[in-house]
Each structure stands twice: as C-alpha cells, then as structure tokens.
Amino acid sequence: MEAYYLEATPKTPKLDFNPEANNFVISGRSIPENSIEFYKPLLDWLEKYINNPKKSINFEVKLEYFNTSSSKCLVEIFRKFEKIHQAGHELTIEWYYDEEDEDMQESGEDFKDIIKVPFRMIQNKG
C-alpha cells in the first residue's frame, strides 16, 4: 500500500503514514480551516489500511497545538487504530508533549482514557 504523506503548513500538521516503515507520525499544528475536510483523505486511507495492516505499528503524535475540531478528527483516527489493535496487531500510540505544556499533557491523558490501545505519554524535556 502506498504511503500517505502531507507536508506541514502553518495551519496543518505533517502527516507521514508509511506502512513499509511501520511508523506513522502526525506532527506540528492542527488548526485547519475545515478539519473534517483536511482529515477525510487520511481517514479514507486508514479505512483501506485496516483491511491489511502490518503486524506491528507505532503511531507518534507530536502536535504542538490543535483546535477542538481537530480533536474530534484525532478521535476518529485513534478509533481506526483501535480496530487494528482489536484485530490482534501490536500497536502503540506515543503522545509527545513539552514538559511545560499542561494542556497538551491533559489532552493526551484524556485520549489515553478513551482509547483502548497501548498509549504512552512521552515528555519532551526543556
């Protein structure tokens, strides 16, 4: 399956979903004009990926900031990964946050509570 890649802009995150590397990354800022429209191609890609996922997957979330509508899309993305995990695949979600950014830490904790997937909180120092 082809990788899904989108370069970051000042308002949208970098999306680097590479099945060959078993590593998926969202990084940057997520404040698009229309989050649903922005994330729909990725959600469609993930829906296809669910049919034939790799045995082991690492998903890194390295967001500096995201708005409320992006958070709803993130939940949808996490739900796709939840399906993969429930099908017996090894999956880890890693939520990165700066040690001084309590909002991002709390957001990660909230997602961790609602998503039934191994979810690691990783604090960036300094």
pLDDT range class, residue 118, cuts 50, 70, 90: very high
Whether 26 maps to a domain, the answer reads yes
Whether 9 maps to a domain, the answer reads yes
Whether 77 maps to a domain, the answer reads yes
How does pLDDT run across 80-102, given as a tens digit for each residue?
999 999 999 999 999 999 999 99
Strand spans (E) along 35-89:
56-66
Residue 41 CB: number of other CB atoms within 10 A?
A: 12
Number of separate domains in the chain = 1
Whether 125 maps to a domain, the answer reads no
Residue 34: phi and psi, rounded to 5, are -135, 95
CATH code: domain of residue 65: 3.30.750
Whether 103 maps to a domain, the answer reads no
Q: Whole-prediction pTM value?
A: 0.95
